[in-house]
């Protein structure tokens, strides 16, 4: 049996993947352009991929293909009708990164809220050496205890963020982006109330017709000028040009983004022009990627492959 990893770089080189070697021959490619996939998977029984496109065009010649595993939650890179027509089993993975994303949410918040870039530079530039007094708090920050934390999308990650925010003493409110998910533990509000009342507003929603472009100029106009906005959902949920304008004009105090409309970042992204780290923090889609999260991810993928092959052997 042959297992082909099409974009192994996306899961990192610091994981123990010996379990896959026990199943058969394993071939790993760092990345796979569409035009190279067909030849690479021609004799594959199993494909493991994150973002490589799996369609009739790319895998039609893979006559032995039985299983496709996506090392992510999103599956828009799969042509599911084609795979199902061929009887190829496909899997994605959900819930593996909840703790990692929640942790990163707070890391981004505190970096912005407590002006950590400024204070780190203040010490490392030796301005604190032989200073006049023992303390220096030129840049004002506030406690989150007693403040309102708003959440757009109260799924598994959103609920974990809500729990941690409550532990810090926040009042938690949420907006259901689908209108279908309700939670009696926290206060549900409409979108305008979420915008108007949140001191911190974090997005943990999927990208769909309801959420695409949800945070635009009109939305940022309704937020508090001291509010901090965090997007750990999907990039296109935010109109990046409108966010750049809101930050430049002081309509909100700061924004932290781990996702962008185009990844890697496009040269024409208007947020590239904002160099003030007290206003904007962008991380390169790393919230999901804590070591434990990636380890769990690949453990789940390995188990999915084993179970799928066992199921096929019984039929």
Secondary structure element (H or E) that encloses residue 152, with its range: strand 148-152
The values of phi and psi at residue 48, to 5°, are -115, 125
Q: Report the distance separating Cα 58 and Cα 52, nearest Å.
A: 9
Residue carrying the six token digits 């790393």: 286
Question: Residue 257 in 3-state DSSP?
Answer: strand
Sheet containing 2-5: give its strands across: 25-28, 2-5, 46-49, 67-70, 89-91
Q: Report the distance separating Cα 16 and Cα 302, nearest Å.
A: 12
Q: Report the distance separating Cα 270 and Cα 246, nearest Å.
A: 12
CA distances from 307 to 75, 270, 313 (A): 20, 46, 10
Q: Can you read off the two tokens belonging to residue 96?
A: 């593996």
| CB contact burial 157-177 (16+ within 10 A = b; e otherwise) | bbbbbbebbeeeebbbbbbbb
Q: Report the distance separating Cα 14 and Cα 66, nearest Å.
A: 28
Start-to-end CA distance of the chain, whole Å, equals 17
Residue carrying the six token digits 């105090």: 253
Q: Report the distance separating Cα 183 and Cα 153, nearest Å.
A: 11
The residues assigned a catalytic role are 234, 263, 285
Contacts of 6 (CB under 8 A, 6+ apart): 29, 31, 32, 37, 40, 41, 47, 48, 49, 52
């Amino acid at each position: 049996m042959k297992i082909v990893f099409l974009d192994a770089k996306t899961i990192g080189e610091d994981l123990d993947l010996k379990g896959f070697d026990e199943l058969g021959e394993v071939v790993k490619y760092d990345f796979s352009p569409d035009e190279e996939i067909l030849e690479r998977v021609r004799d594959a029984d199993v494909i493991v991929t994150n973002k490589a496109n799996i369609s009739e065009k790319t895998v039609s010649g893979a006559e032995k293909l039985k299983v496709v595993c996506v090392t992510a939650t999103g599956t828009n890179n799969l042509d599911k009708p084609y795979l199902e027509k061929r009887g190829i089993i496909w899997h994605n993975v959900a819930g593996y990164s909840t703790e990692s994303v929640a942790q990163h949410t707070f890391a981004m918040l505190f970096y912005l809220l407590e002006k950590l870039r400024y204070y780190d530079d203040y010490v490392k530039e030796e301005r604190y050496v032989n200073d006049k007094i023992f303390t220096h708090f030129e840049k004002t920050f506030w406690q989150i205890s007693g403040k309102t934390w708003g959440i757009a999308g109260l799924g598994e990650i959103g609920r974990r963020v809500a729990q941690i925010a409550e532990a810090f003493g926040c009042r938690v409110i949420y907006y259901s982006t689908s209108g279908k998910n309700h939670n009696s533990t926290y206060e549900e509000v409409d979108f305008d109330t979420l915008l108007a009342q949140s001191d911190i507003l974090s997005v943990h929603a999927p990208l769909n017709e309801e959420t695409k472009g949800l945070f635009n100029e009109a939305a940022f106009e309704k937020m508090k000028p001291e509010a901090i906005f965090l997007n750990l959902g999907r990039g296109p949920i935010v109109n990046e040009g409108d966010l750049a304008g809101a930050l430049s004009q002081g309509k909100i105090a700061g924004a932290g983004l781990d996702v962008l409309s185009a990844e890697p970042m496009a040269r024409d992204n208007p947020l590239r022009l904002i160099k003030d780290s007290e206003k904007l923090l962008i991380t390169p889609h790393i919230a999901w990627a804590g070591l434990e999260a990636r380890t769990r991810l690949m453990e789940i993928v390995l188990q999915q492959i084993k179970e799928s092959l066992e199921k096929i052997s019984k039929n």
